[in-house]
Structure 1
Amino acid sequence: MRKWSMFLILCMYLAILTKLILFKYIPLSEIIHHFNFTYNEYHWRSNNFVPFKTIYFYLYLADVNVSIRMENLIGNVIGFVPFGFILPFLSKNFQRLSAVAVATFCLSLTYEMLQLIFEFGSFDVDDLILNTVGGILGYLPYKITNLFYPFSKKKPADSLK
């Protein structure tokens, strides 16, 4: 029963995350019109393929409101914390930090590639970095809690039969 609940929570979380990442500037009623596969020169120049370029810009160079900086930096981390927390509850395959980090990176890469291909936003390698950090941070409370209250109870040995 707990796995089904966590699966439903994961589905709702992914639906909300998808709306916030892919469709934040596009009304849901106009999404279908956005699948046109046209690429103009401006679109390709708005992407960032240089690691830490955007992070550095927002930390040291940006002449923008502090709330915009925080939304871009901290928002990318916080948005993926629930993913790192939920995954270990769903499968034993995700009870290692490395597995959660890889899964978070792959989910983030999927969102970034969709933004690049369908022009829902711009591809930013720094989002991959920040999102993956968020997944790792989400895993930590699970791991700490699991140390004190193990979620998977070990079955007694069959030697007493």
Structure 2
Amino acid sequence: MRKIIKTGLIVGMCFYLLVLSKLILFKHLPLSEIISHFTFSYEGPFWNEHNFIPFKTILYYLFLAENINFTIRVQNIVGNVIGFVPYGLLLPLISKRFQKITKVMLATLCLSFMFELLQLIFKFGSFDVDDMLLNTIGGVLGYLPIKLLKILYVQAKNREA
């Protein structure tokens, strides 16, 4: 029974990562055009389109973006958090290596960095260090219910003994 559950969790993680990849890397591309987008041509410098300064985009969306619709601002900030909650939730369920919050946090940061780096290299979007921060917060928020349930389980087990 445990193997079946673990296999289901792994399949769920794979499906989740595919959906997340589509939403992050290919959000503006139909599935039929993804392969043709992989080009390595040089079109001049493009560093101005990216954000390497922590909290710059977050502060802009929260306080300075008067010309951007409020819904778009909330979707960007909250979407980056919510998108990685399942990752933080599934990791400790799939592997015993990810039982500590620091490991889940580091794994989420690494996954987010990989997505941002792919966006930078292949020009699927823009690199934004704030996305990495928000994604990591999402992974931690996903981990917290698992940790809470484990604490409650241990307490209940100790009461029985």
User: Structure 2 length as normaliser, TM-score?
Assistant: 0.90
Alignment of 1:6-155 (within 5 A): 6-41=9-44, 43-63=46-66, 64-149=68-153
Inter-partner Cα distance in structure 2 for 1:57 and 1:41: 27
Inter-partner Cα distance in structure 1 for 2:22 and 2:42: 22
Offset from partner CA, 1:108-150 (integer Å, 9 cap, x none)? 0000000000000000000010000000010000000111235
Deviation at 1:32, TM superposition (A): 1.5
After TM superposition, what 4+ stretches of structure 1 lie above 6 angstroms from structure 2?
Answer: none
Instruction: Assess, with a 3 A threshold, how the Cα gap between structure 1 residues 7 and 142 changes in structure 2: closer, same or farther.
Output: same
The percent identity for this pair of structures is 56
Task: Output the amino acid matched with 1:45.
Answer: N
User: Structure 1 length as normaliser, TM-score?
Assistant: 0.90
Q: How large is the Cα RMSD of the aligned pairs? A: 1.4
Maintained 8 Å contact 1:43/1:119: no
Inter-partner Cα distance in structure 2 for 1:33 and 1:43: 21
Inter-partner Cα distance in structure 1 for 2:61 and 2:95: 37
More deviation, 47-56/141-150: 141-150
Inter-partner Cα distance in structure 1 for 2:59 and 2:88: 25
Aligned length: 151
- Counterpart of 1:159 in structure 2 is none
Deviation at 1:42, TM superposition (A): 6.3
- Unaligned 5+ segments in structure 2 are none
Deviation at 1:41, TM superposition (A): 4.0
- Counterpart of 1:4 in structure 2 is 7
Instruction: Assess, with a 3 A threshold, how the Cα gap between structure 1 residues 126 and 39 changes in structure 2: closer, same or farther.
Output: farther
